[in-house]
Structure 1
Amino acid sequence: MNDIINYFETLDPVLGAFYATLFTWGVTALGAALVFFFKGMNRALFDAMLGFAGGVMVAASFWSLLAPGIEMSPGDGFVKVIPAAVGFALGAAFLFGLDKVLPHLHVNFKEEDKEGIRSPWHKSVLLTLAITLHNIPEGLAVGVLFGGVAAGFDGATIGGAVALAIGIGLQNFPEGFAVAMPLRRQGFSRWKSFNYGQLSAIVEPIAAVVGAYAVMTFQPILPYALAFAAGAMIFVVVEEVVPETQQGNHTDIATMGFIGGFILMMTLDVGLG
């Protein structure tokens, strides 16, 4: 692990963010690739994996984003928390707007439950767009952390950025699976199901590069940008991930998956950051 961190320290931060999110995209593709080996999915395991993804996102929002953002903010007391509060609210508002505009369909929901503006798009596209919503703040978070390291802010470390990328990569595995397998069950070919699954994470490297470049160009926005990514991620967890795990009869299993994901992400961030 130290070799990986040392390698990223030698890279341009924008390039480092791009490489890190290529990894998270690749793990999404691995999850989608399960469609080549299985004909169906165990619902209890699937809900546990979705819960795990939610736990990782919540832990990352605090340990990797909000806490460093507050630490590097100027001032004391209430003044010190203002950038985090403003950024968090803006991030949630941004995802709220996308959720209302972008046509999409959450995993485990019926087609008549699709959200966003009315669209004739097929369920395959709507499912892909739903997971893409998850991935925008995740890619942005990784990019912002890499940009913060380049800007020399206390609290932003390469180890922390790598830990965040690893955690997001792990929780992307079930997201690729969540798109590919339902499509396969609807009669799509294995190859087409896989392509839709991996395509959902293509936005992560794009968001990461934008986030890193923005922070490096406008350094004072870093505390706001970290909190923005956190607010967007928490919105996704509450609006999408948690409800998706509550549609079946395995809510307890999903909850334990959430706890496991939180513990793992917290451990990675503290241990590597």
Structure 2
Amino acid sequence: MLSSVTSYLASIDPILAAFYASLFTWILTASGAALVFFFRGMNRTLLDGALGFTGGVMVAASFWSLLAPGIEMSPGEGFVKVFPAVIGFASGALFIFGLDKVLPHLHINFKYSEKEGLESTWHRTTLLVLAITLHNIPEGLAVGVLFGGIAADMPGASIGGAVALALGIGIQNFPEGLAVSMPLRRQGVSRFKCWWYGQLSAAVEPIAAVAGALAVTFFTPILPYALAFAAGAMIFVVIEEVVPETQLESNTDIATLGFVLGFIVMMTLDVGLG
């Protein structure tokens, strides 16, 4: 099944492949959010473990799927070879840092008074969705950049690696959708609205994926920078948002084990398929 999907994506336009792959990650987010129709709540320990898993996938993807290929395809030797990765990684982290300071948002299980970004009177529900949306931008961008590298026929960019990244991000998007819908349900929001907002948080991924693929297709020399940019953005999200959310209760060990499992899963997918 997986080999058939990989073969199909390899046979079509890489921009379209990036769109399809990011649609898959969006669908899994919607599927996770849909659990709100069947359950009344979510155990906090399970949520922290799931968020830890998400962080592990993102960190592993940042290295195995983005930084390592980016460095491999960079010209030169020694410090010259790593220069694009340094610039791209720092730029990606600073990009999300800037969005974090500007975009009004509220992290899961934080009080309304702890909202971040510019001052806003937006509803708590909107702020929660925006927090996860901010989280999903680098994920969609990462998928698009890898497929764009395939279109540019760059060494180190493989269809297997791109599929592995999309699969890993999709897997961790499932609990992510649930992490949006369940807290909203506890606030008394209707089940349909909980699902709607949960899936909406990942709607940005296909947009970011297509934008990333188009960018590196038309400006091939930026690919090593773009890969590192996506990695820097994802690492910033993990350290600034995902990890702190797992430390609010007494489930740090569960969250850490979830992180380790997520890292192993993503590393295995990337090496096995890439």
Question: Separation in 2 of the partners of 1:208 and 1:25?
Answer: 11
The runs of 5 or more residues in structure 2 that have no matched partner are none
Question: Separation in 1 of the partners of 2:261 and 2:114?
Answer: 29
Partner letter of residue 209 of structure 1? V
Aligned twin of 2:154 = 153
Aligned twin of 1:138 = 139
**Match status 1:55 vs 2:56:** yes
Count the aligned residue pairs.
273
Question: Separation in 2 of the partners of 1:222 and 1:110?
Answer: 40
Partner letter of residue 25 of structure 2? T
With structure 1 as the length reference, what TM-score do the two structures score? Answer: 0.99
The correspondence of residues 40-79 of structure 1 with structure 2, limited to 5 A, is 40-79=41-80
Question: Separation in 1 of the partners of 2:115 and 2:179?
Answer: 16
String of CA shifts for 1:103-156, please: whole Å, max 9, x gaps: 000112111111000111111000000000110000000000000011111110
Aligned twin of 1:35 = 36
Aligned twin of 1:253 = 254
* 1:172 Cα offset (Å): 0.6
Aligned twin of 1:231 = 232
**Match status 1:95 vs 2:105:** no
Question: Separation in 2 of the partners of 1:206 and 1:268?
Answer: 24
* 1:174 Cα offset (Å): 1.3
**Superposition RMSD on alpha carbons, in Å?**
0.5
Aligned twin of 1:175 = 176
Question: Separation in 1 of the partners of 2:3 and 2:38?
Answer: 34
The runs of 5 or more residues in structure 1 that have no matched partner are none
SS at the partner of 1:169? helix
Partner letter of residue 184 of structure 1? R
SS at the partner of 2:98? helix
SS at the partner of 1:66? helix
Question: Separation in 2 of the partners of 1:106 and 1:185?
Answer: 15
Question: Separation in 2 of the partners of 1:123 and 1:37?
Answer: 24
Question: Separation in 1 of the partners of 2:109 and 2:233?
Answer: 22
Partner letter of residue 169 of structure 2? I
Partner letter of residue 252 of structure 2? T
